[in-house]
């Protein structure tokens, strides 16, 4: 699988988008504001901090652009994308899920492990408890199985839906896809978990 879904995306622009995506206090709305103002992530990263402040962005956003943690996070995402079955859909990609694009602040980047076309099917997100009881785990698994059997894709965010992670941690990738489950990982760093 190529690293980027669109032919016109250069490797430098892909890395720049991944870096902007990892900046603290930059969620979907601020990401979009930067792209509209500068035309590309590469241009946004090279713009002076004063231009970022003129857009109403906090100073921490512009200051973190050259942070090694941001660069390392982008490099880790690129390495992840090199593995088989890993995909990245960007907000301006023709394959970006149409229904998701209609919300007020769609995620600018979607990291997908598995078949990206599954995102066009009806979806339900499952969120669980960090300390779910055994009956709670069993109930969640039964709900997910039943809903997947009815044609819904069950979305989880690894690390956030611990009941699903633990229930299906031993399941093979094929079994997950067959049940309609897909793990949607938003590559936010720990400092920015509040945005997820």
Shared domain check, 153 and 100: no
What's the whole-model pTM score?
A: 0.69
Residue 133 covered by a domain:
yes
Residue 78 covered by a domain:
yes
Crossing angle between the packed helical segments 11-22 and 28-38, to the nearest 10 degrees: 140
- Which residues, listed in sequence order, are joined to residue 86 by a DSSP beta bridge? 113
**Residue spans of beta strands (DSSP E) within the chain:** 86-90, 109-113, 123-125, 153-156, 181-185
Tell me which residue of 126, 127, 118, 77 sits closest to 100, measured CA to CA: 118
Asked if 52 and 45 count as a contact pair (C-beta separation under 8 A), the reply is: no
Tell me which residue of 10, 34, 5, 37 sits closest to 22, measured CA to CA: 34
- List, for residues 81-100, the tens digit of each pLDDT value: 999 999 999 988 888 888 88
Domain containing residue 46: CATH number: 3.40.50.450
Both structure tokens of 42: 């590469």
- List, for residues 106-142, the tens digit of each pLDDT value: 999 988 888 888 888 888 877 777 788 889 888 888 8
Shared domain check, 23 and 99: yes
Q: For residues 60 and 64, give the distance between their C-alpha atoms in angstroms, rounded to a whole number.
A: 6
Shared domain check, 30 and 86: yes
Domain membership of residue 173 as a residue range = 122-179
Residue 4 covered by a domain:
no
- List, for residues 11-65, the tens digit of each pLDDT value: 999 999 999 999 999 999 999 999 999 999 999 999 999 999 999 999 998 999 9
Shared domain check, 163 and 74: no
Shared domain check, 140 and 88: no
Shared domain check, 127 and 52: no
- Residue 80 has a pLDDT of 93
Shared domain check, 103 and 33: yes
Residue 3 covered by a domain:
no
Average pLDDT over residues 172-189: 38
Domains: count for the chain: 2
Shared domain check, 142 and 73: no
């Amino acid at each position: 699988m190529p690293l980027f879904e669109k032919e016109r995306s250069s490797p430098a622009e892909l890395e720049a988008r991944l870096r902007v995506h990892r900046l603290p206090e930059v969620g979907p709305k601020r990401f979009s504001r930067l792209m509209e103002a500068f035309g590309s992530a590469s241009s946004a990263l090279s713009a002076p901090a004063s231009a970022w402040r003129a857009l109403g962005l906090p100073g921490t956003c512009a200051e973190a652009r050259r942070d090694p943690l941001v660069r390392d996070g982008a490099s880790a995402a690129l390495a992840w994308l090199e593995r088989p079955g890993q995909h990245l859909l960007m907000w301006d990609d023709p394959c970006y899920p149409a229904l998701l694009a209609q919300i007020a602040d769609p995620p600018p980047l979607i990291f997908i492990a598995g078949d990206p076309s599954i995102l066009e099917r009806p979806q339900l997100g499952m969120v669980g408890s960090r300390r779910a009881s055994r009956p709670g785990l069993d109930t969640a698994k039964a709900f997910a199985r039943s809903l997947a059997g009815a044609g819904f894709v069950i979305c989880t965010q690894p690390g956030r839906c611990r009941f699903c992670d633990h229930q299906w941690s031993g399941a093979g990738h094929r079994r997950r896809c067959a049940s309609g489950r897909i793990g949607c990982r938003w590559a936010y760093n720990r400092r920015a978990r509040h945005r997820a």
